Structure 1
Amino acid sequence: MTEYEDIRYEEKDHVATITFNRPEKLNAFRGHTYAEVTDAVHRAGWNRDIGVIVLTGAGDRAFAVGGDSTEKKSDRVGHGRGTVGIPVEEMQTAIRDVPKPVIAKVRGYAIGSGNVIVTLCDLAIASETAIFGQAGPKMGSVDPGFGTALLARIVGEKKAREMWFLCRKYPAQEALAMGLINHVVPDADLDDEVDRWCREINDLSPTALAIAKRSFNADSESIRGAGLLGFQALALYFGTEESKEGGTALRAKRNPDFRGAMT
């Protein structure tokens, strides 16, 4: 891809910035968004002139808020790339595998897939306005790989289960305390702070950083295989009335009845 529809791509001072550019939908991801982010991460990650990749969201309301609710899960299964019809695994693999540090720059909501992306990034810096959390079980979905198992390694088993089992929201300072992010600054200072971290990283040896990232990833690489198995199960789940109920209820502006949908 040389041009993008759902994202913006910029290279400057050895930093590639990938901006999720759907602010009217709080930067929700559709299938095309996953494909574009994957392409852009590879484009930056294998460019020897790039030392750091920054992922961020357009506007000040959201980093990203998960899947686009107008895209029905049951319709996408079996279509396009990826086990569940969208290339989630490919995007996650790209963020993990490129030999460059990937930084999440977070303003506003990082919910659902947005929270998973923060989990996957090597570093995360947030403004005081940032809010984190998972929403999958509210919508009949879950991330059965890095979004659960890697999250547990980062914030601890009990906290990760709390995030998924209760679908609560967590302000930036609480996310910092649990270890989900590295640093919190006032919103007006976020861009400058991320630039400062990028400059520090770009003063270091790219090869040493690449080896360090590979070494960190090796410890949790087994999650990839377990996640692929989980996505196969998720593809089957997406075809059930229970999974469909979350999106159906949202579009009908009513509370979901997951138990009723199971019968």
Structure 2
Amino acid sequence: MSTSYKDVLYEVRDGVVRITINRPEVYNAFRLQTLEELIDAFQQAGEEKSANVIVFAGAGDKAFCTGGDQKEHLSEDGLYGPRGTVGMPIEEFQTALRDVRKVTIAKVQGFAIGGGNVFATLCDLTIASEKATFGQVGPKVGSVDPGWGTAYLSRIVGEKKAREIWFLCRRYKAQEAFDMGLVNKVVPHEQLDAEVDQWCKEINEMSPTALTIAKRSFNADSENIRGIGFLGIQTVKHYYQTEESREGVRAFNEKRKPDFKKYAG
């Protein structure tokens, strides 16, 4: 796949690879094609010798990423499509994002919700505008991330806070996310690009090999979560095929509150 994508923008500039989800009309929610393009983009970025850094972003002013496109979720008998355990290669992209040799920076200017919150969590660093908002929605829409989005999140924000994030599905402003350790730096909205550029400049002055070794060392400590995630996603596959999960998707698209209790066993 070339660097000419439909859902993703790919640019190498000033020693930085910039990968941007380009679906602002749906708050940069991802679909099957988005993930396939992101996988390819991150694999290409890993081989870009001129750069030490990848900036991962969302197009427009409103959202970094708001997770899976729920309209797409209604297709293919309740799944997203023909790829991956749950209909699209979410595990494959999470692996590409986590394992790429470069330092990854999530640039969050707006909503980082659901799967988008997981993507920002998986990046090595996260820099946010003061207008950014973080949070989970999975249990509200009949979904869950049973690996990096849960177990790894608890490594970052602590067990109690991670459970709060998932069990209540509240939204957290950028400063709250910073206070819990989910974000490295919060800046005024108009200063976000300049701040990200400064971090990229400093990282680009470092030894790429030393950075890669450091990143691999950090990753090794939590590598067991990959196995937890692969095991959990098998359960999620079966969950997505239930009426309980489908009720969450239907309710979201119909803009109403879901009635999960009628499906409780």
**TM-score, normalised to structure 2's length?**
0.96
CA distance in 1: counterparts of 2:80 and 2:169, whole angstroms = 28
Q: For 1:30-75, what per-residue CA distance to the aligned partner results, in whole angstroms no more than 9, with x for missing partners?
A: 1111111111011101222221000011111111101101012663
Matched letter for residue 196 of structure 1: Q
Give the aligned length: 263
Residue 101 of structure 1: aligned partner = 103
Residue 55 of structure 2: aligned partner = 54
Residue 22 of structure 1: aligned partner = 23
Contact 2:73 2:79 in 1 (8 A): no
SS of the counterpart of 1:17?
A: strand
Whether 2:123 is the aligned partner of 1:125: answer no
Contact 1:78 1:85 in 2 (8 A): yes
RMSD: 1.3
Residue 199 of structure 1: aligned partner = 201
CA distance in 2: counterparts of 1:109 and 1:77, whole angstroms = 24
Deviates more, 1:90-99 or 1:247-256: 247-256
Contact 1:77 1:83 in 2 (8 A): no
- What is the CA-CA distance between 1:76 and the residue it aligns to? 5.9
Q: For 1:96-138, what per-residue CA distance to the aligned partner results, in whole angstroms no more than 9, with x for missing partners?
A: 1111100000011100011000110000000000000000000
Match of 1:154 among 156, 163, 168: 156
4+ residue segments displaced more than 6 Å:
none
CA distance in 2: counterparts of 1:186 and 1:6, whole angstroms = 28
Match of 2:262 among 245, 260, 263: 260
Contact 2:53 2:200 in 1 (8 A): yes
CA distance in 2: counterparts of 1:257 and 1:204, whole angstroms = 53
CA distance in 1: counterparts of 2:32 and 2:206, whole angstroms = 36
Contact 1:46 1:98 in 2 (8 A): no
SS of the counterpart of 1:99?
A: coil
CA distance in 1: counterparts of 2:225 and 2:261, whole angstroms = 30
Q: For 1:175-210, what per-residue CA distance to the aligned partner results, in whole angstroms no more than 9, with x for missing partners?
A: 000000100000100001000000000000000000
Contact 1:245 1:261 in 2 (8 A): no
- What is the CA-CA distance between 1:79 and the residue it aligns to? 4.6
CA distance in 2: counterparts of 1:19 and 1:195, whole angstroms = 15
Residue 173 of structure 2: aligned partner = 171
Contact 2:136 2:165 in 1 (8 A): yes
Q: For 1:127-157, what per-residue CA distance to the aligned partner results, in whole angstroms no more than 9, with x for missing partners?
A: 0000000000000000000000000000000
Matched letter for residue 211 of structure 2: L
Match of 2:242 among 228, 233, 240: 240
How has the CA–CA distance of structure 1 residues 76 and 249 changed in structure 2, closer, same or farther, with 3 Å as cutoff?
closer
SS of the counterpart of 1:16?
A: strand
Matched letter for residue 105 of structure 2: I
Identical pairs, percent: 62
How has the CA–CA distance of structure 1 residues 34 and 204 changed in structure 2, closer, same or farther, with 3 Å as cutoff?
same
How has the CA–CA distance of structure 1 residues 76 and 97 changed in structure 2, closer, same or farther, with 3 Å as cutoff?
farther
